[in-house]
Amino acid sequence: MERAGRLLAGMRLPGVSLTPDEVVRAAWPVAVGKRIALRARAAMLAGATLIVEVDDEIWRRQLTTLAGQIMGRLRKVVGRDLVHRIEFRQGLPRRPVQRAATLCGDEAEAIPDSGLRMAYRASRRKAQA
């Protein structure tokens, strides 16, 4: 059975034309798997170079060593040789997990913005009255 990506890439439907960039970005999660796709996102295809944004430097280094294997899997999924090089870049960092305010002391102190902290305290006083 032929892969859907290969079939779609070769089809010429009237009014529907997929650019190589769209084909490669759609094939990325299939080629690398769910776990890697959560940490690395295909951003764009610049010529024959696929730009991939990764979460951090560790993922960038690890995926750089697997670039040849990933290109082979992309070639199998897409059915064409659209990617000749993969460039991994560290994307914007994700927001860190925020810890809940401790019950000892004023919980409003955990709010970094002073205006929001004052509004929270005023709202709390109003609710307790």
CATH class of 4-90: alpha beta
User: Domain boundaries in the chain?
Assistant: 4-90, 102-129
Q: What are the tens digits of pLDDT across the range 22-76? A: 989 999 999 999 999 999 999 999 988 999 999 889 999 999 999 999 999 999 9
- Spatial separation of the C-alpha atoms in residues 31 and 106, rounded to whole Å: 50
Q: Is the pLDDT score of 88 beyond 60?
A: yes
Q: Which of 9, 106, 28, 35 is nearest to 70 (CA)?
A: 28
Sheet with strand 40-46: strands edge to edge: 40-46, 49-54, 85-90
Q: What are the tens digits of pLDDT across the range 99-127? A: 655 555 678 888 888 888 889 899 988 88
Provide the whole-model pTM: 0.60
